[in-house]
Amino acid sequence: MEYRNLRVALLGGGSVGAQVARLLLEQGPELANRVGATLELVGIAVRDVNAERSVDLPRELFTTNAEELILGADIVIELMGGVEPARSHILLAISSGADVVTANKALLALHGSELFAAANQVGAQINYEAAVAGAIPIVRPLRESLAGDQIKRILGIVNGTTNFILDRMDTEGSSLEDALAEATALGYAEADPTADIGGYDAAQKAAILASLAFHTTVPLSSVYREGITSVTSAQIESARKAGYVVKLLAICERVTDENGVDGVSARVYPAMVPRNHPLAAVHGANNAVFVEAESAGSLMFYGAGAGGVETASAVLGDVVSIARRHVAGGPGVAASSYAALPVFDIGRVTTRYAVTLEVTDEPGVLATIASVFSKRMVSLALVEQSMTPAVMATQSRAARSATATLVIGTHDATEAALAATVQDLATNSVVSEVASVLRVEGV
């Protein structure tokens, strides 16, 4: 059977780009049968054509002239990473009539609204399944499969490096430093792991997911972010004893504030998750996205969040989808931001806290602590008291009675009220130290 020909330009020949090129070349006839058109890889734009590649590819495909390659393509795959020149290349592709597939989460989080507006203006398509959770299909289910539903909340483990580290701390008793060193040795963490352990990577993905799920432009600057650098082995152990596991979560939520105003929240932080929650069973460097929808209920998407060939699978899925549209005709699916909901700062979000305090062990302490919470209208769900192990091991019997550990769980309250309560506790005369503060999610 004779098919029409679609010219595909690839920008970037790294670990993902090389695998995409390999699959396009090796699976050409099969892909043509699925699409109804041949997908011709016309070139791969790279910085250095002589650099070593993870895959043996035809030398003649490589070029340093990305602009020329783009102008001759029907579909442009951008796997360069970074903001520039990726942004300029994508805008050039759109203006020249090409559709775009990208895995560039940083670019989409910062300039997604600009790129989608340019594509909408000319009826072009931008697909970006691989930008959020590697091989896991989540963008297309949100954009298409759940388009007739209303998304209430998304809880995502969307960074494999941090999940690997926290999982090792939980299952092996490793320190954060040792778990990070292991992640680096295995290739999960970069030489500079700041983007991962600082929560920046997850925040970019949260901005993309929230924008998509709630039909609202959510700027990266509006995503609250905390990384895992302050998570301690003691917090992990305390969570385990209480029946929880600590995960770095990207949380995208449609919320109504105390004034009855509907809005959107997007935030990233380490949180305690009940061990019977599906996200608690996500181990190693895997990713998972837990979606709560009005009609469909709870859904979880799980799998590899990174890796060259795994991510290439998602990229090729986007390419096939776009190619089918070329064959069928018609404009691309426009980005949807009609809702234009306000993006709330974290202070207006309702959540729960687990607070561990070192307090003086004397009569009236519990009442004093309870009054601090009551002042901020925060209701207590759990109070447990025990002697501090470190103190018991080093002090005399008489001195041991001076200090105790108080573990407090709260009911739902606004983040602003909870944060203010913790500040009040830190300056209270009966509190020696606010030893740990973790949010509780998934309950």
Residues flagged as binding site for L-homoserine? 190
Encoded tokens for 63: 């070029």
**Residue carrying the six token digits 């299909």:** 137
Residue 121: how many other CB atoms lie within 10 Å: 11
Residue 436: how many other CB atoms lie within 10 Å: 19
**Residues contacting 95, CB < 8 A, separation 6+:** 118, 122
Residues at the binding site are: 11-18, 105, 190
CA–CA distance, 357 with 435 (Å, rounded to integer): 5
**Residues contacting 223, CB < 8 A, separation 6+:** 203, 206, 207, 210, 266, 267, 268
Residue 67: how many other CB atoms lie within 10 Å: 13
Q: Angle between the 233-241 and 160-171 helix axes, to the nearest 10 degrees?
A: 70
Question: CA 269 → CA 44, 225, 231, 260, 310, distances in Å?
Answer: 38, 6, 10, 26, 26
CA–CA distance, 5 with 40 (Å, rounded to integer): 7
Q: Where are the alpha helices (DSSP H) in 297-414?
A: 308-328, 365-375, 389-394, 397-400
**Residues contacting 322, CB < 8 A, separation 6+:** 75, 99, 101, 125, 127, 332
DSSP-assigned letters across all residues of 272-316: EEETTSGGGG--TTEEEEEEEETTTEEEEEEEE---HHHHHHHHH
**Residue carrying the six token digits 């775009």:** 100
Residues at the binding site for NADP(+) are: 11-18
CA–CA distance, 178 with 222 (Å, rounded to integer): 32
Q: Which residues are catalytic?
A: 205
**Residues contacting 363, CB < 8 A, separation 6+:** none
Residues at the binding site for NADPH are: 105
Q: Are 174 and 246 within 8 A, CB to CB? A: no
| β-strand partners of 127 | 101
